[in-house]
Structure 1
Amino acid sequence: MGSCVQQLTCPSGLSKCSTAVTQIGDITSQASVKNCAAACQNGSMNFGVLKMSSFCCDTDLCNAKDVPDPSNIPNGKQCFSCGDKSCSNILRCSGSEDRCIKATGTFGAQSLVVKGCVSKSICDATASVSSVEGISCCEGDLCNGAHSVTQSFLFLCCSLLSYFLVH
């Protein structure tokens, strides 16, 4: 993926530069967002269908390069992820993803669940995601449990993703 760099003077209170790369599906459709931020984390999260990596720095133009794609470097960790009607898919974590994550949320009348791999830094920051009711991270292989779900989880993934892209 090519890089496009536009110089931007950060507004007051936004002293960090951030880059986030999102990959949806196996087709490797990617989107990169570079911007100013008040706070951000270095790390990645992977829900199987949706992967996001972020990089944060605090010097001028330090986010000129794209985030390295951790998906090519497996680290041996395994977590459950959710598919169509089941959360028993086994996902192989990569890069700095050293935790498993489980998040639940309610959107309208639908209760949604996502599971996957996450970096410790991203997991630590998830406590402030207000639209998601229950986020838990754990360290052991497959520690985020395998249970069935009946609803799509893309809305919940998008909620988590939008938090990290905006903050």
Structure 2
Amino acid sequence: MDLQISVFLLFILFTAGHSLSCYECMSMTGSCANQKLKTCPSGSSNCVSLTTARQDQFRIRVMAKDCTADCQSGFMNFGISKASSSCCNTDQCNVQDAPDPSNIPNGRKCYYCDGQSCSNTVDCSGNEDRCVKATVTVGSLSDVVKGCATTSICDATFIPSIQGISCCEGNLCNGAQSVTQSFLFLCCSLLSYFMMH
């Protein structure tokens, strides 16, 4: 009986010692100055940092950090907004912010949506080597987003709120059909992905 209790206590000590700890924050001001350390819930195996920036006259910058179960590091460029995510799997590894997306064009062009039309083109930059098209769902609203992305984002197996991710190689391969899109809609889906997992 004493052996069983000892083994049980050792099991609790070892499993409690292996919980991942990550920094957590959410900022609409572009800085995670008030990040806090948290112990991740069961099932979370990664820490993530996310930076999303609106590229129009509003220049909104959202930063977030948290624990997540599934994560892909990479960059996305949706014309009016850019996003980058940085994933890691060791304690407190998300202390640094996700890198700012590159502004150096790489020669690839893709279609993006501006709220009225999806026939606009955007110059991909940095490591964005694919054109992407996806459907984003938040609540009862669905919308199509288009733009540039890195291969790692295209290879993601599961991103909540985003369905039907299709990526292609080649300039303007993601079509120009007209749909609507809003920056807030896109931000909500990206943040829900990283905050819920």
Bucket of the pairwise TM-score, normalised by the shorter protein: 0.7 to 0.9
Secondary structure in structure 2 of the residue aligned to 1:8: strand
Distance 1:107 1:63 in 2: 26
Distance 2:75 2:149 in 1: 6
Q: CA deviation at 1:28?
A: 2.8
State which structure, 1 or 2, has the greater radius of gyration over its C-alpha atoms.
2
Q: Is the 8 A contact 2:31 2:63 kept in 1?
A: no
Q: State yes or no: 1:31 paired with 2:62.
A: yes
Decide which of 80, 86, 89 is 1:49's aligned counterpart. Answer: 80
Q: Is the 8 A contact 1:70 1:96 kept in 2?
A: no
TM-score w.r.t. length of structure 2: 0.71
Q: Which deviates more from structure 2 when the two are superposed, residues 86-95 or residues 7-16?
A: 7-16
Q: Is the 8 A contact 1:101 1:118 kept in 2?
A: yes
Q: CA deviation at 1:8?
A: 1.6
Query: 1:9 is aligned with what amino acid?
Result: T
Secondary structure in structure 2 of the residue aligned to 1:20: strand
Secondary structure in structure 2 of the residue aligned to 1:71: coil
1:92 alignment counterpart = 123
Secondary structure in structure 1 of the residue aligned to 2:144: strand
Structure 2: gaps (5+ residues): 1-29
Identity value in percent: 52
Q: CA deviation at 1:46?
A: 1.4
Q: CA deviation at 1:55?
A: 0.3
Seen in structure 2, the aligned counterparts of structure 1 residues 81 and 155 have a Cα distance that, compared at 3 Å, is same
Structure 1: gaps (5+ residues): none
Q: Is the 8 A contact 2:145 2:181 kept in 1?
A: no
Seen in structure 2, the aligned counterparts of structure 1 residues 20 and 90 have a Cα distance that, compared at 3 Å, is same
Q: Deviations over 1:63-86 (max 9, x none)?
A: 111111123232221101112322
Report the RMSD for the aligned CA atoms in angstroms: 2.6
Seen in structure 2, the aligned counterparts of structure 1 residues 86 and 165 have a Cα distance that, compared at 3 Å, is same
1:15 alignment counterpart = 45
Q: CA deviation at 1:109?
A: 8.8
TM-score w.r.t. length of structure 1: 0.82
